Every structure is written in C-alpha cells, then in structure tokens.
Chain A
Amino acid sequence: MRCRNGHTNLKIPQDIQVHVVNTNFTLRWNYTGNDANVTFSAEYRWFDDSEPNDMEWKKLPGCQNVTGTECDFSSAITKYYDTHYVRIRAERREEVSSWSSIFEMIPSLIAQIGPPGIQLQSTNGVIKIKVSPPEANQVQKMWIDQSSFRYNLVIWENASNAEFRSQSIFPTDVIDGLAPDTTYCLKVQATLPLDSQEGFFSPVRCVKTTRKVNDLLCATNVRVLALNMKFHLHWNNRYKQHVSYNVQYLIGYLKMLHDDYSAKWINVAGCENITDTQCNFSSIITTTGFYYLRVQAVNEYNKSCLSNEVKVDPLITNEIGPPDVTVDISDMLLHIQISPPGDRESEVMREHYDLSYRLLYWKNSSNNEEEVKTKEIKQTIATVSDLTSATLYCVKVQAFSEVYNKSSSYSKEKCIKTPGDKLLPLIILATFATALIVVCLVATLLVFVLYQAYNKIKYVFFPSCQPPLNIEGFGPQLFSSPYLSATEELVENCSVMEPVITEAVNQFDFKDYQHSKESSRDSGNYSNDDDTSESKASEETLVKEIV
C-alpha cells in the first residue's frame, strides 16, 4: 500500500477556472512549482436536491493524470442546474500535493453560448441567410430552448472595413439594403436576453451580392390600412400585361422557429386570384396575435413573384375611427350620447384599447367663438350642467386610447340651443293681466264720471221740475226757455208759494203740518236754509220725476 503523505514538497495548483461553452467543460489551473513529471488529478462532487446525502468526492473523468494545465471533463457533468464542486491536486509518483481550493459552480450560470452555424445565398441583390442554432445536432444540450435565441448579425463591406452595421435577424431571414455587385462580410452571434448572455460569434463569412433585377411583375409598396379593426392590404401594380394576385399570410410566431416555414403561408380567403390591388383580410385577424402578409403576383405564363412582407400587429396597426354623437337638452342640462366607433368591433376595441372619450363643447355665438371646454370620460353618456339660457352650444367627441397612445379624428359637430328664460312668459302674462285690470278700472271710473257729468248737465240745462198749474203767466214757455233768469225766477216762485200753503194747511190739520211748521219756522229764521231746503225738496221731486 502506497502511503500518501499530506506533507509534501509538491505545490498546490492555483487559480482554478472552469470554462464552459455549450456543454464543453474545461478545467484550467496554474502551477508555479517544478512541473517535471508532475501530473494532475481532479475530484468533484455535486449537490443534488433529490439526494442530499450523496456528497462524496468522486474522480473527475477526463481530468485524471493530466500533464498539461487544462482538461476536458464534459462527460462528467449532466445536471446543469445543480451546484458542483471541483478540486485538483498535483501528483508525482507517490507524492501528492494537498487539494487545491474548491471551485464551486452552477454549470448553466457560467456556460457561454457557442457560435451558431450560417448558410448564405446571394440572390437578386440581397443575401438570404439561414442560421442554425448552437448545439444544432447535439443530443445533450445546455440550451434546450432554441426558440429563445435571438440572433445578432454584424455586416460590413469588405472593401471599407470600418463601417459595419448590426441588426437582429430571424433564423431564416433576408438581408437587404445592400449595394449590388459588392462583397460583404458578416458574422452572427446567438444571444439569450433573459440570461443576459451574448454568445460567441460564428466565423466570418464573405459573399458577393448580385445585380438587382427589377421585376415589374412584383407588387410594390405593400401597405396596410386598418380602421376600426377592418384590415385592408393595398399595393401597386407596375405590370403592363394581365396579372392576378394571391394574398398570403403567415402566423407570426412561425418566423421565430428554426423550422422551415415557407410551406406555412396560407392564402387569405377572398383574395385568391384577384385582379384588384387591394384585399380585406380582417377574417384572419385575432386581437392577441400578430401576422405577416405578402402578395404573390402571377402572370399568364404562371411566372410568379413574391412581394415584400408586411408585419401586422393588429392593435398597433389599427386606427380608431371617430365616434357618433347625439345631443339633447332638458331642464338646462345638455345630454350627450356617444355611440362608440366600429359597429360589431366596438366592444372588442373598447375592451382591448381601454377606450375613453374626449368631449369638446363651446358656445357658438355670432361674435368670435368662446372658450372651448374639455371633458374626458370613460362612459358613453355625459351631462353638462353649467349652461346659459338661450345659447347655441356645439359638441364634438374623439375616442382615444391612453395606453396605446392612439386617438381617433373628431366626430361631426352637433349643435343645440338652450331654451329661453321660463320666467319671461309669466311676466308678460302678469303684465297683461294687470294692464287689463287697470284699463277696466279706468274705464269704469270714466264711465261713472261721465254719467255724473251727464246728470249734472241734464239737471242744469234740462230740469224736470214742473211749476204748479195755478201759476199764471208762466206756463210751459217759461220752462222751456233757457237759462239764467228763468232759474232765479223759478226759485223765487217756489219759495214764495211755500208759506201760503203752510198756513193754509195749519188751519185744517195741526199734526200733519208739524213738519212743515218746523220747516217754516226754520225757513223763517234762516232764509238761506229756507231756500236750500225748498230747493232740495224740489230737487227730490225733480229727481223722482226723472226716475
């Protein structure tokens, strides 16, 4: 049994490093001591979640009795997510050094991405490139998910080495924007953005571009116009003879896979063998997907040409159309009803865009327009309350999506007038009624005054008092004649008559004539009173007569 002595002159290997490219594991170290006849052997162990007790050191295959300062131990490692520990020591015949410091590693974290493979084809002024992933044909892979690779291309003109351009490419792609008949050199690296990893570049390949043949048959200027989730593809035709078109689409994610997708283009229903230079492809669109579209032009000799591809990301490509607005007024409130853009697609758009509406309203007066007010709402009904009466208000609405930074054009303006003051008719009515009453009163008063005047006049000019029949010399002529002198005489006559009658009466009936006595007495003392009382009496009889 050979003794392995811990205390030895052999130096311990230093600076242990592990380099991993794809699944190739290389152990490297430094040895400062005398390396004559010295070999190195390594051990390893790993920490497995399922078997925590298995922590024994094992011999590292591929790194036993190694003469240089590096070894390949790829065959030993299979658990790429587990922590591994490696240590190494120097050996010379029976002597062994102490074990080096332990190198700890998780393979997937220190692994680097190897270079991808490239296939090039130079045709029609462009370079067609097909990238094969690192570990393309390997059974055991470090990078299992090949679809997560993103490829970065670096290309430059061979002649002018300085200027190079860098772009991301699909596994199968076309590099254009190149000058014809020029030699270009390029290299590609695979990256894993999620792992913050950039792999090794492929070896540089150089290729010469051909001349570009401008085939008039091909459809050009292929573009998408989309409004309210109705998608239309438009293109231009430069071919003079008869040409028919097939519009084809590809489900977006297929471009990302390494598999050949050339057979996976599908004709859009309703756009096969058409002569029109536009196509409605809304039928193939779903809101959560994305697509590529191209136009295949075919002439009468069955020669075809494929146009450029257009990428369609439905919610981003689509434009929102204007909404419709109706206005109504009631009780000094302006009610605004918005009908969302799109008919059947309106619900889809509202949901995916999280649509809101911007309301603009202003007073439309004959002089310069007043300040425009804005309101932003989520619902399709709005009410404006701070209105002035008898004013014309105008409204227009725009739909917008804040998150997608998209807004529609404004709807047509709708105007409506607020009603006048309700109080005014009442005032008019009240005024009229009052005026009516006043007029009636005035009229009544006037009539009354006129009547009184009439009576007076009639009394003065046309008295009804008849003199007694025993007055001589008077008779009707006297009463019919006018005015002044006759009146005096009349009065006098009446006053003269009275005392005579009174005395005569007294002789016959004392009672009956008491009144007259009193009156005569009165008349005796107060001649004026006499007159007035007499005249009053006559007036009364006059009045009675008239009545």
Chain B
Amino acid sequence: MNALGLIQVGLILSCTTTIISSLHCNHLPLQQRKVVENSLQLLDKMGKKFPQQCLREKTSFRFPERVLKPRQKETVKAAIEEIFQHIFYIFSKNLTLAAWDGTALEQFQNGLYRQIEQLEACVIKKQSHYFWSKEVNRLKLKKYFKKIDCFLKDKQHNLCSWEISRAEMRKCLQLVDKVIRKLNN
C-alpha cells in the first residue's frame, strides 16, 4: 500500500468523519482551553517558588516545538493528546519527596485525564490517530518525555528533580495553550 493510496484513504475518511466529529466534539475546544488554563494555575498552586539551590541542576530538555506545527490540523489534536498523556504519566510517579499540595495535584491529574478521555472519545480519533502514528516528530516527543523520565529516575525523584520537571511541564503547557488558542480562532 503506497503513500498515495494512504493519502487517498485518509482524504476519504477525513471528508466523511469531519461532519460526524463536529456533532460529538463541539465542546472540546472550549473545554481544552479551560483545562490548560486550570492546569497552569494548579501547577503554580501545588508548590512554592522555584528553589534557588536547584538552579545549578537545571537541564535543558529541548521540547520539540515542531511537533505542534504539523501540516494537518487533526494531527495537532493527536499531538496535544499525547502531550497530556505524557504529562499525566510523569505526575503519577512517586511524589513524596516533592512535598506538594496533594489536592492541587489531584485536581491537576484529574483535569488532564478527563481531557485525554474526551479527546479519545471524539469520533474522528481513528483517522487522526492513524496519521499521528506515522508522524515523524512523534518520536522526538517520546524521546523528550523519556529524557525527563530518566532524569527523574537518575535523581531518585528528589525535590530538585521534581521542581525542574515541574518548571519544564509548565513551559510545555504554555506552548500547548498558545497552539490551542490559534487552533480555535
């Protein structure tokens, strides 16, 4: 099955499923904006200001921004879903040493997960997920989050590693926020 055939299949699918998706996922853009806004607030709320002593341990993770600028709009949605999934995973690890506000953390996770669930439930998922699975930048995104995961493991999930990760996730969500606003305008 060559690329042209795939594109043809994709086009047909996108034509038929675009209408269906709009019936089921109408509230998603508004909800996504709210979740990202809320998540950023909760990220700030769960801990204090970035500790000075952790500054020297700061590592550059280099988020692959190109993943949020693909050729297709539907792929961006799948990219956002994957980012939410990765962030959700990171914050489900052992957080005792971080000593953050448990309630804020729970609400943060809850909001993220609900959004992931809603994105999955959108009818158009099969098509956008298919294209996403073939996306070149997807691997870069996976590597980025794996790097953070390894960083946390190496530092045994200590306070500084958590604070650095939290700051990094904040940057990531802010990028997603910008993309979401652009998508829905």
Footprint of B on A, CB under 8 Å?
Answer: 81, 106, 108-109, 144-145, 147-148, 150, 193-197, 251-253, 256-257, 286-290, 313, 315, 351-352, 354, 401-405
Contact = CB atoms under 8 A, between A and B. Distances in A.
A405 B78 contact: no
Interface stretch (B4-12, B105-113, B155-163, B167-175): B105-113
Contacts of A81: 139, 142-143, 146
A194 B38 contact: no
A289 B86 contact: no
A193 B132 CA distance: 10
Interface of B: 26-27, 29-31, 34-35, 38, 78, 81-82, 85-86, 88-89, 92, 106-107, 109-114, 117, 120, 125-126, 129-130, 132-133, 139, 142-143, 146, 149
A288 B133 contact: no
B34 A352 contact: yes
Nearest to A354: B30
| A-B CB proximity, top 8 nearest | A253-B113, A288-B111, A289-B110, A196-B133, A145-B89, A403-B27, A288-B38, A290-B114
Given A145-B86, A402-B26, A289 B114 contact: yes
B55 to A, nearest CB: 24
B149 A147 contact: no
29 contacts: A81-B139, A145-B86, A147-B89, A194-B81, A194-B85, A194-B132, A195-B129, A195-B133, A196-B133, A197-B133, A251-B109, A253-B88, A286-B110, A287-B38, A288-B34, A288-B38, A288-B111, A289-B110, A289-B111, A289-B114, A290-B113, A290-B114, A290-B117, A352-B30, A354-B30, A401-B27, A403-B26, A403-B27, A404-B27
Nearest to A314: B114
B120 A253 contact: no
Contacts of B26: 402-405
Most buried by A among B78, B113, B132: B113
A288 B35 contact: yes
Contacts of A313: 114
A148 B89 contact: yes
Contact of A315 (B31, B109, B113, B129): B31
A194 B107 contact: no
Given A147-B89, A289-B114, A196 B81 contact: no
A194 B113 contact: no
A145 B142 CA distance: 11
B120 A193 contact: yes
A314 to B, nearest CB: 10
Most buried by B among A106, A109, A253, A290: A253
A342 to B, nearest CB: 17
A348 to B, nearest CB: 11
B6 to A, nearest CB: 13
A403 B35 CA distance: 16
Contact of A106 (B35, B109, B139): B139
Nearest to A404: B27
